Structure 1
């Protein structure tokens, strides 16, 4: 992973073999980020798992094992109640037949490169609190003026 920062903006370049969620969480710990928005991401990934949540708050998953274009990536980064970093990402992938697949991104490994922009929310603490039923983890916001 390579990254550069300008104020609250961070540009991240991930290399082959790096998993996107894992890399962003590692960077959050390194930079002590308590809230951020992932505004864009492009590249080429493989073993990409994505899906959707149904009315019972249960996720349904699909996997694209072969390399696919990462057409869009967006989401946010927050902290669990225990302080660990949590990334909530949605993505659109295009397979080699130009068919797009989109949804909540559970996992994606970089095949060629991933280029990501993240905006740090310096004055907002973002935290994730699990709901009682289902897999959904609710986002809570708190203003934090320095």
Structure 2
């Protein structure tokens, strides 16, 4: 990973083998920020797991095991109540037949490169807290 910062904007490049969620969470700890809007992400990934939450608050997952284009990525980063960084990301992937696959991103490993933009929210206080009877971890503002 390499990154550069301009004020509250961070632009970073992830390299082959890096997992996107883990890399963003490590960056939050390295730089020392608690909240960010992840405004864009593009690149090529593999082992990309995405899905959706049904009406009963249960996630359903699909995985593209081979390479796919990361066409869009957006979301946010906040801290859990215990202080751990937590990323909530949605993505659109395109397989090699140019078929789009989109939804909540559970995991994706960089295959060639991923480039991301984050806007740090330096004055925001946001916390991720589990919802009762749900797999969702809700965003709360203080």
TM-score normalized by structure 1?
Answer: 0.96
Residue 89 of structure 2 corresponds to 89
Unaligned runs of 5+ in 1: none
SS at match of 2:133: coil
Match of 1:37 in 2: 37
For residue 62 of structure 1, what is the aligned residue in structure 2?
62
Deviation at 1:7, TM superposition (A): 0.3
Give SS of 1:124's match. coil
1:93 is paired with a residue of what secondary structure?
Answer: strand
Structure 1, residues 14-57: CA drift from partner, whole Å, max 9, x if none? 00000000000000011111110000000000000000000111
Which residue is equivalent to 1:138?
138
Per-residue deviation at 1:134?
A: 1.6
CA distance in 2, matches of 1:72, 1:125: 26
**Stretches of structure 2 lacking an aligned partner (at least 5 in a row):** none
In the alignment, which residue of structure 2 is the partner of 1:17? 17
Distance in 1, matches of 2:120 and 2:10, equals 8
Give the whole-Å Cα distance in 2 for the aligned partners of 1:43 and 1:141. Answer: 32
Count of aligned pairs: 142
- Which residue number in structure 2 is paired with residue 102 of structure 1? 102
- RMSD (Å), alpha carbons: 0.5
Show the counterpart of 1:26: 26
CA shift at 1:120, angstroms?
0.2
CA distance in 2, matches of 1:22, 1:101: 22
- TM (norm. structure 2) is 0.99
In structure 2, what is the Cα distance between the partners aligned to 1:34 and 1:103? 24
Could you tell me how far apart the structure 1 residues matched to 2:125 and 2:27 are? Answer: 17
Mapped to 2, the partners of 1:11 and 1:125 lie a distance apart of 22
